[in-house]
Structure 1
Amino acid sequence: MADQQEHKEHGTETFEVVEAERTGTRHKGVYLLPNLFTTGALFAGFYAIVAAMNGLFEAAAVGIIVAGILDGMDGGVARLTNTQSKFGAEYDSLSDCVAFGVAPGLVAYSWGLSELGKFGWMAAFIYLACAALRLARFNVQAETTDKRFFIGLPSPTGAGLVATLVWLGASRGIDGNDISWLVAFVVAGAGLLMVSSVRYHSFKEFHIGRVPFKVLLGVIVAFAIVFLDPPLVLLAVAVVYVVAGLLLSLWGMRKGASAEE
């Protein structure tokens, strides 16, 4: 009660699991609300794996997309409710490894890489290993890098690129094994971009709050466009984001070379 009263006095009400020992002493546990979103993302990634094992590739791809949405919400909820914690950060990283590393690799393998034999599982493993390395590097460099940019393709975007490719193909009745080399290129390429030095805009300088009416109208129009053909539109958005980062990095390298001359 004392802890809850203290939070209320400061105007910030949080949700927290508190464990009590038999001795009557109490100690802080983990914040419940943001970790519920993280658990939801973890479950969505696990569901994607199970769905792919049963040949439900559209459902598997949607599961990965849902995991990305939930992953984007847990950090925002933690900041809004002032419930950030080291436990939450570590749990989020482990959840990301499953939802954006293991799940996309296995879904892509089941849909369009299995008939490539060793090349198929190598492409899937390259993606998985790079996703794990990307997450580890992000955890180490989080405090030292420019918050406006990600170094390397963000793992949720890489997972979204793979998932929307599977979703689009499955929704059109395409057997992934008929385009297996394209699938392998996209999967391995997304993995390598995650551990590259290419900078991608994070959009973290944009905060949720009061916005002009035209911004709200733009969001509504964007949602309408997405719902016209979700897999096609989301795949196009992912491709544009990936290509834009590559072009900006090449432009920066060219300007750097010109300055040295």
Structure 2
Amino acid sequence: MSSNEPEIPDDDNELEVVATPRPRRKGIYILPNLFTLAALFGGFYAIVMAMNGRFEQAAIGVFCAMVLDSLDGRVARMTNTQSAFGEQMDSLSDMVSFGAAPALIIYEWALKGLGKAGWIAAFVYCACAALRLARFNTNIGIVDKRFFQGMPSPAAAAMLVGFIWVADDAGLKDVYALPVWPWVAFAFALYAGLTMVTNVPFYSFKDVSLKRTVPFAVIVLIALGIAVINLHVPGMLFGLFCIYGLSGYGVYVWRRMKGRPVSVIATSTDEPDERGLH
């Protein structure tokens, strides 16, 4: 046989082909993501209602999204269904419900009467919400869990749409055409937006355990609180979130007066690019 001719392998010399199993595709936990999708729908619903001039329903949509957003993480921890997908989905939902939706609602309600100043204020709020969520995701492992670094976006959104809900409940219509109210809305949008990106510490309530026993009087106080809120839901919710929106600055001043550190960063990082987040 010529050396140029290919050799035909015998049956005994044939290589055995081993079938490698296909990698198993990862699934998605449905229960916590249902809450996240419901929160996303609340934000989308709020935008649609604002486009149709129904600002009370828009405010209710944001508040419902806030309640659902507070439940998805707890449900994931209770059922041991945490996942990286759920974390990313939650951040995207928050950006729509507590970033874009409140900015568009207050623009349609009042800020469009201010021209360029109006849409700039709405954009500042929306951009600050995005920056706050991005900083929260990158700083999640180094922040003291008892406090938020800056006002959380759901509270900022609740304060903004709560103001709209109170004014709409009082009978104010076509606010964008009024002389003073658009500027009041302008101030609220800037305050809520800029407070989200400050380093001011806001209490997170994460150290409150629902599994601990409490005195009977605590349950009575909770029932009384619910009854008081029902006296005038828009006004009470707006008042509560305004108090919370100011509380961070109170904590900041109190810590300064006591000589305590005001930063909520628990540990330093080795990455120099993150020093600015302190």
Bin of the TM-score, shorter chain as denominator length: 0.7 to 0.9
Q: Deviations over 1:174-223 (max 9, x none)?
A: 13323010101001110000000110000100121243322222221111
- 1:79 corresponding residue in structure 2: 77
Matched, 1:146 2:148: no
| Larger gyration radius, structure 1 or structure 2 | 2
User: Where do 1:209-248 residues align within 5 Å?
Assistant: 209=211, 210-248=213-251
Q: Which one-letter code corresponds to 1:81 in the other structure?
A: T
- 2:65 corresponding residue in structure 1: 67
Distance 2:62 2:109 in 1: 14
- 1:51 corresponding residue in structure 2: 49
User: Where do 1:1-261 residues align within 5 Å?
Assistant: 26-175=24-173, 176-177=175-176, 178=178, 179-209=181-211, 210-256=213-259
- 2:10 corresponding residue in structure 1: none
- 1:19 corresponding residue in structure 2: none
Q: Deviations over 1:16-49 (max 9, x none)?
A: xxxxxxx997533111100000000000000000
Q: Deviations over 1:223-258 (max 9, x none)?
A: 11111111100111011111121122122233339x
Range moving further from structure 2, 150-159 or 175-184: 175-184
**How many residues end up aligned between the 2 structures?**
235
Choose between structure 1 and 2: higher helix proportion.
1
Aligned partner of residue 202 in structure 2, secondary structure: strand
Distance 1:129 1:253 in 2: 29
Q: Determine what percentage of the aligned residue pairs are the same residue.
A: 48
Please report the TM-score for the alignment, with normalisation by the length of structure 2.
Answer: 0.81
Range moving further from structure 2, 71-80 or 201-210: 201-210
Q: Report the CA distance between 1:120 and its aligned residue.
A: 0.4
Distance 1:81 1:236 in 2: 34
Q: Deviations over 1:103-124 (max 9, x none)?
A: 0000000011110000000000
Q: Could you list the runs of 5+ residues in structure 1 that have no partner in the other structure?
A: 1-22
Q: Report the CA distance between 1:97 and its aligned residue.
A: 0.2
Distance 1:88 1:162 in 2: 27
Q: Which one-letter code corresponds to 2:170 in the other structure?
A: R
Distance 2:93 2:139 in 1: 19
Distance 1:33 1:215 in 2: 31
Please report the TM-score for the alignment, with normalisation by the length of structure 1.
Answer: 0.87
Q: Which one-letter code corresponds to 2:250 in the other structure?
A: L
Aligned partner of residue 83 in structure 1, secondary structure: coil
Aligned-residue CA RMSD (Å): 1.5
Range moving further from structure 2, 201-210 or 189-198: 201-210
Q: Deviations over 1:125-163 (max 9, x none)?
A: 000000000000000001111000001000000000001
